[in-house]
Amino acid sequence: MNSRRDFLKCALAGGAAVAGAAASPAAQARGNADVSPDAVGLLFDSTLCIGCKACVAACKTANDLPLDINTSPDWPWDVPLDTTARTFNVIKVYRDGKATLKDAEQGGYAFMKSSCLHCVDPSCVSACPVSAMKKDPVTGIVGYDKDACIGCRYCVAACPFGIPKYDYDSPTGAIGKCELCRHRMQDGHYAACAEVCPTGATLFGKVSDLRAEAQRRLALKAGDTTTFPRGNLSAGDQPAWEGVVPAYVQHVYGEKEVGGTQMIKLAAVPFDKFGHKPLPERSFSSKSETLQHTLYGGLALPVVALGVMTFLAKRNMPKDDEPQAPHTDQQEGGR
């Protein structure tokens, strides 16, 4: 009876400690992270994509990536079906029926770019235990440090878009993902996929400029004409061409999903047709870190765990006034 009473006391004390930690300022829920004013990213307009895959080839060249033949042994071309640790960017296609109408949901087809979205509040960075995944505080680019990586693959599990991929063929193990060609920016270049895109379907620039451009397009009337810039939207005097405004879906994908992303998308076909599942506006990082801070705030959880272990250890130890079983030669021989 006393043991049960002592255990209940310990449990109640632990619950109070956790509750106190949850109420402390350090354990209060945090909101989504804010995007840096100088953050850069991409705007992908599905209606402008012609499926030429020049961006796929440019990404391979810019990042010195090897061939990635993962379709069929009898198909010798480098045309991976999805992003991998050796392919950071792919163009997928939505098809319905005879697929004869461009950007039509029924009986049509449309292209969609798949690559890292560079979340404003990235789950992969939050989940990485060794900071191999880092978010640049200025550009907002989510970069990867292979020398720091321990191959735990927490980033792979944490990403809501399924982007970081583990290279099982690597002798040391490594993660592969788009880093917006950050290694080329010191030479005045930017993301290779946007540099080579002939139609401006992939557009580079500051996130603030890209979001404004996306909203400008959504406000246009379908069938009217407008200009579509190409290359680097924030560079000024960028090349542009005149085209017809499509019937956009009135949604900028990535503007609010999981706290926002630095790669945003426009399309004339509903995004769920491309496999883009609905996501909450609150980032997963803010949720998980709030939980961690609640449990560990004020060392509440370790104190509770230590208290429980101490109770169990004390319960199983013989008391000083308890008689000890005599040791006999018969017991020794029976062992």
The label of the residue with tokens 């045309």 reads 79
Contacts 24+ apart (CB under 8 A), 218-226: 218/248, 218/250, 218/252, 218/266, 220/245, 221/245, 222/246, 222/247, 222/248
DSSP 209-260: HHHHHHHHHHHSPTT-EEEEE-SBTTSSS--EEEEE-----S--BTSSGGG-
Retrieve residue 306's tokens.
């230590």
- Ranges of the chain with pLDDT below 50: 7-8, 11-12, 16-19, 21-23, 26, 291, 293, 295-298, 331-332, 334-335
> Count of CB atoms within 10 A of residue 208's CB?
16
Domain 40-280 has CATH 3.30.70.20: yes
Q: From 100, 42, 104, select the one nearest 249 (Cα to Cα).
A: 104
- pLDDT tens for 156-179 read 999 999 999 999 888 878 999 999
Count helices and strands (H / E) in the chain. Answer: 9, 12
Retrieve residue 89's tokens.
């960017």
- pLDDT tens for 56-112 read 999 999 999 988 876 666 666 677 889 999 999 999 999 999 999 999 999 999 999
